Structure 1
């Protein structure tokens, strides 16, 4: 007769085997229906194009449709809340940005989620630069002219943003802080509407992502500077803010895939592997090049999570000093 200790071990092993046999088929079959990819801003623009490219690639890799669902509002907060509340089964993911995951927590003191603790960080997708642009017919001819006009005319120049608390908001606010000027903030529901507002004459300048470059190349906008550590391969003739006397104004944007907290590890690993495979596709690399984008140098979940933590720590004291709020 088996000892009580041996019986307990046998029973435990049987229970574990039963649990494994009950869970494994569901995970092994994932995905067996369409997957929703949430995009936190309005349709259109570089980020939305990246979401579409990634969704098409994941559809190919995973064998199930991956569709993009835009949920703009609150500088990305609405989409993060929606994703946080979704069932953690791998059928709702989000392509999120650094603005909501690293800047908004320091700007909005009542944020209903913590980007470092309330989500699974699946994969880094893109890291890239930003540019300062005006309309081609603007009286602002270069970066020095922007500094002079903004300082000489407080409250007269306006800047469009992708929403309160986004990089489009923080960068010009930082410019004002460094420059001793005061421009007026005009928030939109995404980067694309902000650029359209600039083209339509609603604002004076936009400090935004590189989806402005096609407009620059088409002669509709003028690029004054890029806010990157070095000049961009996609726009080697545009000087950096450091070259132009404002080295503090450097910010790179990044995008990554989030999932609801508690999403099973095998699903997260499969998503990460599929994302890396998509970004390695020659066709995807060509599409990114057309958008003046490059895949992230490291697509790992660890790199993504570490980047969120380090950038949050980097920008918190800057934001606190600037007095920037979500209002």
Structure 2
């Protein structure tokens, strides 16, 4: 080997050693500046509030500001693309939802990312139930009545959704498949407009999230059931769809913390640890109760990935049978 080659080899070895030596120090110093938490939907609503709760908790525990950066568009696609393009240094993370990570892969051809392969799965963070509601003066009195009227009047009952391909769309689509009925889909630009449409008499029913509960408690809506395996703590008097004779009609929304692929293991472990500690704080638990949401039963990365994989497989045949495509 010539002297020049020996010198180049030695320099490469030294450079590699320097990088290896710097990596643990870098992770040990994390974080030393503010952290951006992407939220892949618009500001306002349940999910954005949950992002703020987590950001505030992590700010306290990490000693650096964690701020929420809303990147709406494409049913969450814009936010996921922004995360995929971010530097994997722990200073850009994202609170994502099951609607994008488990439903879009079956609804959108050419999805520009893989929810499993293209990201690090830091922690499962929250779970939240869903509820079936009608207007308080609706002739539909209970869940059995909804089933009977939907079967007897194909194409007559209407359901409002938060948009084509949203969870508000998938839940009644599954109901129709299980019930042998055919209701008419009326998409709105978000969950709140869908509820306003129901209150205005524009639709017959909404299968939506628990932000409907204040309307139920105010006597403006009637809850027919929750789409959960267990009754939800925020509304323990509302029966589950399993109790009502349709155990396969379940949709439990979940939220998880993602990071760019290649983020150092030490940083991922720190974020996971501090997320779990944040969720255990009494003040955070009180905030979640107000938002009708629970901390995830397991905050591990493995549980998060398992849920994405399982729910993607469960909803794919429902999406295909209904011919549902994302907007």
**Residues 239 and 74 of structure 1: is their aligned pair in 2 closer, same or farther, counting only changes over 3 Å?**
same
The corresponding residue for 2:252 is: 252
CA offset at residue 93 of structure 1? 1.5
The corresponding residue for 1:63 is: 63
Render the CA deviation track for 1:46-92: whole Å, top value 9, x for unaligned: 22221111111111111222222223333222222222222222222
The corresponding residue for 2:91 is: 91
Distance 1:124 1:160 in 2: 29
**Residues 306 and 205 of structure 1: is their aligned pair in 2 closer, same or farther, counting only changes over 3 Å?**
same
RMSD of aligned alpha carbons: 2.5
- Mapping 1:179-194, distance limit 5 Å: 179-194=179-194
**Structure 2 residue runs without a partner (length 5+):** 1-8
- Mapping 1:1-327, distance limit 5 Å: 15-326=15-326
Name the SS of the counterpart of 2:294 in structure 1: coil
CA offset at residue 107 of structure 1? 2.0
CA offset at residue 298 of structure 1? 0.8
Distance 2:163 2:109 in 1: 16
CA offset at residue 161 of structure 1? 2.4
**Structure 1 residue runs without a partner (length 5+):** 1-8
TM-score by length of 1: 0.88
Name the SS of the counterpart of 1:37 in structure 2: strand
Whether the aligned pair in 2 keeps the contact of 1:228 and 1:252 (CA below 8 Å) is yes
**Residues 194 and 65 of structure 1: is their aligned pair in 2 closer, same or farther, counting only changes over 3 Å?**
farther
Distance 1:196 1:41 in 2: 20
**Residues 22 and 302 of structure 1: is their aligned pair in 2 closer, same or farther, counting only changes over 3 Å?**
same
Whether the aligned pair in 2 keeps the contact of 1:134 and 1:204 (CA below 8 Å) is yes
Render the CA deviation track for 1:293-317: whole Å, top value 9, x for unaligned: 2111110111111111122122223
Distance 2:48 2:111 in 1: 24
Distance 1:105 1:246 in 2: 26
Whether the aligned pair in 2 keeps the contact of 1:36 and 1:69 (CA below 8 Å) is yes
Whether the aligned pair in 2 keeps the contact of 1:125 and 1:254 (CA below 8 Å) is yes
**Residues 186 and 86 of structure 1: is their aligned pair in 2 closer, same or farther, counting only changes over 3 Å?**
farther
Distance 1:211 1:270 in 2: 32
Distance 1:25 1:44 in 2: 38
The count of corresponding residues between Structure 1 and Structure 2 is 321
Render the CA deviation track for 1:182-217: whole Å, top value 9, x for unaligned: 223233444334334433444332212222222212
Whether the aligned pair in 2 keeps the contact of 1:98 and 1:254 (CA below 8 Å) is yes
Whether the aligned pair in 2 keeps the contact of 1:72 and 1:190 (CA below 8 Å) is no
Render the CA deviation track for 1:162-193: whole Å, top value 9, x for unaligned: 33323221111111222232223233444334
Whether the aligned pair in 2 keeps the contact of 1:104 and 1:166 (CA below 8 Å) is no
Distance 2:59 2:136 in 1: 39
Distance 1:41 1:194 in 2: 16
Distance 1:72 1:186 in 2: 22
CA offset at residue 25 of structure 1? 4.3
**Residues 23 and 57 of structure 1: is their aligned pair in 2 closer, same or farther, counting only changes over 3 Å?**
same
Distance 2:196 2:262 in 1: 39
Distance 1:55 1:91 in 2: 13
CA offset at residue 221 of structure 1? 1.8
**Residues 257 and 191 of structure 1: is their aligned pair in 2 closer, same or farther, counting only changes over 3 Å?**
farther
CA offset at residue 291 of structure 1? 1.8
